[in-house]
Amino acid sequence: MIGRPSLRPLTLIIGIVLSGCAHALNLVVEEKDLPRPSRPVVQEILHTLQEREAAVTSLKAVLDITVRYGGTQEYRQWVAAIERPDLIRLENIGWGGFTSLVVLSDGHRLVAHALLQNIFVEGSATPDSVAAVTGFRVAPAHLARLLLGLPPLSIQVEKTELYGPDGDHAYLLREQESSFTQRLWLSDDDLSLLRGELYDRQSLRLRFRYSPAGHGLRSLILEEPLKQVAMEVSYRSYNLNIELPRELFRIPQPTQGAQVVNLDAGLAPLLRFP
């Protein structure tokens, strides 16, 4: 492995193209104040992250969830099915092992069906839509990647410029025309993902960390700084890179007699999690 300037975990700040409009990323350090690392260092970091992403294609898991907010705790259990790049299905398992809520997203649309209440929710695949049905604000595609053990934003080697390290041992990676930025701490020995932060323009939207450090999927802790909500995800069991049936991700139609809630119209469902 090619040597790097710091023996401490590397911090990467990564801007990824997610929209067609250019946005100014107000980062801690400007590119003009940073050195350019050697090409071998740049290639090692970017290619390592890309190779790890390519090695993970799908996940089926049973997840124990603890949500903490305002001094309270809620416990849930999810069954998750994920297929890159952006397919995700979550089932909330209630008392007695019955499914009480199904959430589906194909990266463009999000739907949810609360079976006991017969409420059918639909809207764009946005962080606000996820918050409306789970209580935690995160984009479906970002959540899918984090549950796979990947950074929330993918890295395109041919489009990413890397600067640094700065005084905080941080590397700055940016692509033009991006509104999102991610800051990642990687282990110095093998570049394993330890923790990170996700920014939208100048605002910190999400913190995450994996515990304990090591290989394989571990406990994942997500924090929403603005609302001071934390969600801990523990992997009770999981299988990676398995073939998942297409019908798992098929967007359903509302059942007969269901109350239909359009999230894009500003409506908010009242969902219970038995």
The per-residue pLDDT for range 25-40, each reduced to its tens digit, is: 334 445 666 678 888 9
For residue 258, the SS3 value is: coil
pLDDT tens, position by position, 193-231: 888 888 887 788 999 999 875 556 779 999 998 889 999
Q: Provide the mean pLDDT of the chain.
A: 81
Q: How many CB atoms lie within 10 A of CB 116?
A: 14
* CA distances in angstroms from 31 to 35, 167, 174, listed in the order given: 8, 13, 9
- pLDDT value for 226: 84
Helices 127-134 and 140-147: crossing angle, nearest 10°? 70
Q: Which phi and psi (to 5°) does residue 24 adopt?
A: -80, 120
- pLDDT value for 56: 95
Which of the residue ranges 34-48, 147-161, 221-235 has the most confident prediction, judged by mean pLDDT?
Answer: 221-235
Q: Which phi and psi (to 5°) does residue 251 adopt?
A: -70, 120
Q: 64 or 13: which carries more pLDDT confidence?
A: 64
- pLDDT value for 185: 81
Q: 179 or 45: which carries more pLDDT confidence?
A: 45
Q: 54 or 7: which carries more pLDDT confidence?
A: 54
Lowest mean pLDDT of 17-31, 53-67, 95-109, 154-168, name the range. 17-31
Q: Which superfamily is assigned to 32-181+189-249+259-264 in CATH?
A: Lipoprotein localisation LolA/LolB/LppX (2.50.20.10)
Rounded to an integer, the average pLDDT of 150-174 is 74
Rounded to an integer, the average pLDDT of 162-179 is 66
Rounded to an integer, the average pLDDT of 235-240 is 94
Rounded to an integer, the average pLDDT of 102-115 is 94
Q: 102 or 273: which carries more pLDDT confidence?
A: 102
- pLDDT value for 92: 94
Rounded to an integer, the average pLDDT of 3-31 is 40
Q: Does the pLDDT at position 272 exceed 80? A: no
**Euclidean distance between CA atoms 190 and 4, whole angstroms:** 11
What does DSSP assign to residue 140?
Answer: H
* pLDDT bracket for residue 158 (50, 70, 90): confident
Q: Does the pLDDT at position 11 exceed 70? A: no
Report which residue type is found at 167: G
